[in-house]
Structure formats: C-alpha cells, structure tokens
Amino acid sequence: MYWYTITPLDVLMFRDAKPFTPGERAWAGSTFPPNGHAIAGALSALLGRKSKPNNRNQEETYSLKGPFLCHHQNLYFPRPLNHIGVTPLIPLVWDEQHPLKDQMIHDKTKPCPLVKPSWIVNKSGDDDEKQSVDYLSGDVIAHYVQHGKITPESWQTGVEKPWTVETRSHNALETGTRQVKEADGYFVENAIRLKDGWSLAIALDQDISTPVTIRLGGEGHRAILERCDQLKKGWDSLWTASEQNRGQSQRSIAYLITPGIFERIQREQAKDNSYRDIARCRAYPWEWKLDNLISVATDKPIPISCRIQDDSGKSIPAPQVFAAPPGSIYYLNYPQALYAEDPNAKIGSKGKALERAKRMRHLGYSELLWIRYSEG
C-alpha cells in the first residue's frame, strides 16, 4: 500500500445521506471526515477508470485504507468511545469485584452494560467526567494497542476537531426584481475548512505520480494529492501489533477506526403473504454472536449514500446504509474475523452478500485495530 495526503486548497463540502430539495428543506446536512465512497469517487476520476454501463456492481480496481486525519505527517484517530473523559469503561461481567455485579439484571439477548472499573478510585472529583478530546495521535493509539491502556497524560496530547464549519446561504432572485424566489429560492449548507497543517490521509494499492490535483466532494473543490511514505512506517508498526493481538485467543477489544458498515439482507413476510428483502444495519457485525461479543460502546449512526448506475448507464441514488461511527469499541472473549475476511464465510443470499461486504472493505470501511484486554 502507498500512503498519500490530501490537502484541500479551499473549503470542502460533503452532504450527508438525507434527501434534500431546496424549498422543501432549507438546510442541507453535511458530514466530515468524508466516507470511502467520496474518496473513491475522486480517485476514480483521477485514475480514469471506465464504468461499464451493463455492470452496476463492478468491482473497484483498487483498495484503500482510510481516510484518516493527518497533522505534519502523523496520523490521528478518533477517540475510543469506551471512555468517559479519561476513565475507561468495561463490561460489568468482566469486573468480578464490582458492587453491581450481583445486583443488576442483564438481558442476555443484548450486549452487557458498561461500568467504571471497581479498581479505579476517583481522586480528582469530577475531573474525569469532563468532555475529552476528539482525536488522538498515532503514537497514543500505538501504545493503546500494545498495552491496552491510554494514560491520563496521553489524553492531554489529544486535539479537538481540527476543522471549522462555515455556513453558506444560497439565494435565487426573481427575474427583474431584488426579491428572493418563493419556491426553490433559498437554502443553506455547511462547508468544512481544515485548520493549517492538517490534511486527510489514505493508503492505496496504486502507485500514483504526485503531486497532483484532484476534485473532492460537492462542487468539485480542489485538493492536492501527495505521496507521504513517512505515514507507512507508523501504520505498519501499528498494524503489526494489532495483528499479533488478533492471533491471541484471549479477551480482546476491537477498535473501529473507520465507519463500520454491518448490513444484512433479511427476508420478511408482508401482510399480503408476499415476501420482500429488507436491508438492516446495526452497530456491530451480524456474524459476532453474543456468546463471544460481550459489549459495545458506540454513538449515533452515520448515514452513508452513494450513486450507482442503472441498466441504461444513468447515475441514480443508491439505497443508503447506516454505519457505526469511528471510535466504536467492541469487547469480545476472543478475536473474531469479519464476514468479508473470513475464509469460511458463506456467500449469502443470491451470492452477492459476500461480494458486497468485500467491496465495502475495499473502500476502507470497517477497519479494526485489535487490543488485548488489560485490567488495572
């Protein structure tokens, strides 16, 4: 894999997956960092990949990792969501000395509740309850992967969201007047401006001659794609430690660092006795059963949508999916492969489920780092 940075030359615009029509909804929602589909769209235009009109499910000709945030050639990752301030949370069933262990009734059909560990004594009042940072450096995450802990001092080196949101209104005037049109005449959208020194980072299995300009996001704002081999060294060290942890059959934490798309097609019977296929998404992989998956720490889902080609080659909106946000944490009795990476995985309904899952992984979704669980 070759590592690159993407540095915007202007603001960036990435609308969310909610339907939007000026006049019906005045605010166009936005999201940042961009998802894998947005990055793939910019790369496809750069690499000149030809789409086949008669094959809407064409496999991408490249694979990517990311996008991640980058500051002065150092990767930054979303903060793990299993922390309140600087205090980690653990599944109640894993804390034998916790006072609630024998008092709380746990619904075994759902992930176990998370609690503050019994061995942590809060000596600083409510300081650990304060809002923590949004992103941690690659060095801090490397220590987390290797030792299973994030020290309070490491949290102090974290950063808040390194971008600002600029609200921009769009007006259309009636012909021959200075009045805004009553219909489709006004809407507002948000633009993202990265702070100085910050960029996006991706890894790609394509060697591209750089620097080169790409168009990224809504309205095709320009950004510079540059090779950054220094990122590879830090990532390889992090990935090697993660893979070593995944090979251990012991209590583990899976740390999601890109949006996690965990989708399953389920056939349901309607009132008229007909059957239809319904796509359902949830915050953790469907293949991870609750006998191994113990608990989950996550946040509200991220709606993701893209565009596909119909049989005539026309671009149309694709059905949206809901992804678990980066930073989500999964507690397991032992590491378990994702559906797309399991050599023994079944191909699924109509032979397309496994193909789709692998395509989502090629676009950078559902990237996990594995951490050995450590007490104390």
Phi, psi of 45 (to 5 degrees): -65, -35
Handedness of CA 357, 314, 6, 161 (dihedral sign): negative
Task: Note the pLDDT of residue 312.
Answer: 75
Handedness of CA 244, 249, 252, 256 (dihedral sign): positive
Write out the H or E segment, with its range, that includes residue 64: strand 64-71
Q: Could you tell me the CA-to-CA distances from 131 to 84, 145, 250 in Å, in that order?
A: 8, 23, 31
Task: Note the pLDDT of residue 52.
Answer: 34
Over its length of 376 residues, how does the chain's per-residue pLDDT go in tens digits?
999 999 999 999 887 766 555 555 555 567 899 999 899 989 988 887 533 333 444 444 678 999 999 999 999 999 999 999 889 999 999 998 888 887 888 888 899 999 999 888 544 555 555 657 999 999 999 999 999 999 989 999 999 999 999 887 755 555 665 554 555 545 677 889 999 999 999 999 999 999 999 999 877 789 999 999 999 999 999 999 999 999 999 999 999 999 999 998 877 777 777 777 788 899 999 999 999 999 999 999 998 887 666 677 676 777 788 999 999 999 999 999 999 998 888 876 666 888 889 999 999 999 999 999 988 6
Task: Note the pLDDT of residue 54.
Answer: 37
Q: With contact defined as beta carbons under 8 Å apart, do 86 and 155 qualify? A: yes
The Cα 157–Cα 259 span in angstroms is: 24
- Output b/e per residue, 306-339; b: 16+ Cβ within 10 A: beebeeeeeeeeeebbbbbbbbbbbbbeebbebb
3-state SS assignment for residue 232: helix
Q: Could you tell me the CA-to-CA distances from 119 to 116, 123, 159, 207, 252 in Å, in that order?
A: 9, 12, 28, 50, 19
Q: With contact defined as beta carbons under 8 Å apart, do 367 and 257 qualify? A: yes
3-state SS assignment for residue 44: helix
Q: Which domain holds residue 334?
A: 2-372
Task: Note the pLDDT of residue 33.
Answer: 93
The Cα 60–Cα 186 span in angstroms is: 38
Domain count, the chain: 1
